[in-house]
Amino acid sequence: MEPVEIANALQINRPQLGNMTGVGLYRLFRLVAMEDILGTGASAISYYAGKKMGKELQIKQLDDFLALCGELKIGRIEIPVMTKELIHVDVHECVTCSGLTPIGRALCHFEGGLIAGVVEGILGKTVQAREVSCIGGFGHDTCGFELRFRT
Ligand SMILES: [Zn+2]
């Protein structure tokens, strides 16, 4: 089966509708359809899909990743902690969950995987992201991700 490459998927020809769509469409796919079919497995698959994509983007600088997040409107990104042992990334207005009535579990595995994959590509270390706060999961102010490294 021929894969759809990232660059190909992002070639958008919609003269009247443009390249933006509603956040609702993404959420119906990610939170409703995927979980309906895959159950709890949707979280892990979303994480690994995000991570694989994050690496394949071949981003070399953090600024380029922040620009991409802005362009795709994934969320507003802040990085309040960046040390050799730990990076903490906060996503404000998260595309997956901001505005949901909290449901009691973290939701943003795709975003966590994406961040981990991009940082792994930049640093050349194995990176694992854990979602430690979630707007739509728990009612936190941001979706926060702790990144830890294995060399
Ligand atoms: Zn979240």
pLDDT digits (tens, 9 = 90+) for 98-133: 999 999 999 999 999 999 999 999 999 999 999 999
**Contact yes or no for 46/34 (Cβ under 8 A):** yes
**For residue 132, which of 141, 142, 145, 119 has the smallest C-alpha distance?**
145
Angle of the 109-123 helix axis to the 41-56 helix axis, nearest 10 = 30
Residue 1 lies in a domain: no
Q: If pLDDT is split at 50, 70 and 90, which confidence band does 74 have?
A: very high
**Contact yes or no for 136/107 (Cβ under 8 A):** yes
Ligand 1 centroid to residue 64 C-alpha, Å: 22
Residue 68 lies in a domain: yes
For 46-85, b where at least 16 C-beta lie within 10 A, e where not — what string? Answer: bbebbbeebbebebeebeebeebbeeeebbebeeeeeeee
pLDDT of residue 69: 87
Residue 56 lies in a domain: yes
Ligand 1 centroid to residue 32 C-alpha, Å: 15
Question: Beta strands of 16-141 (E only): which ranges?
Answer: 76-82, 86-92, 126-133
Q: What is the pTM of this model?
A: 0.91
**Is the pLDDT at 151 greater than 80, yes or no?**
no
Residue 52 lies in a domain: yes
Ligand 1 centroid to residue 106 C-alpha, Å: 6
Which domain covers residue 60, as residue numbers? Answer: 6-150
Q: For residue 145, what are the β-bridge partners? A: 89, 131
**C-alpha dist (Å) from residue 142 to 37, 69, 71, 99:** 28, 15, 19, 11
Ligand 1 centroid to residue 15 C-alpha, Å: 32
Give the contacts of 17 (CB within 8 A, at least 6 positions apart).
none
Give the total number of structural domains in the chain. Answer: 1
Residue 97 lies in a domain: yes
Residue 52's CATH number? 3.30.1380.20
Ligand 1 centroid to residue 61 C-alpha, Å: 24
Ligand 1 centroid to residue 1 C-alpha, Å: 33
